[in-house]
Amino acid sequence: FQQLSEAIPGVVFIKIDVDENPDTAAKYNVSAMPTFVFLKSGEVIDRLMGANPARLQELIDEHQ
């Protein structure tokens, strides 16, 4: 996650502590860690649950 966020300047990565932000977790239906939620213009366009760096990179490439 950290390496990707530094390597891809056109993408904004935000880390949220779900224990401190339960409303945000509920809003985006986060029930497992890690969960990556892809937003565009405020709308959810994709999501990835679980640690899968290769799939995360694929989704970033797809939506960038």
pLDDT tens for 5-51 read 888 888 899 999 999 999 999 999 999 999 999 999 999 999 999 99
For the entire predicted model, the pTM comes to 0.86
The boundaries of the domain holding residue 22 are: 2-63
Q: Which CATH number fits the domain that encloses residue 32?
A: 3.40.30.10
- What is the rounded distance in angstroms from the CA atom of residue 43 to the CA atom of residue 32? 20
Predicted pLDDT of residue 57: 92
Domain count of the chain? Answer: 1
For residues 31 and 37, the answer to whether their CB atoms sit within 8 Å is no
Predicted pLDDT of residue 51: 92
- What is the rounded distance in angstroms from the CA atom of residue 57 to the CA atom of residue 55? 5
For residues 52 and 60, the answer to whether their CB atoms sit within 8 Å is no
Query: What region, left, alpha or beta, does residue 51 occupy, with left being phi > 0 and alpha being psi -120 to 50 degrees?
Result: beta
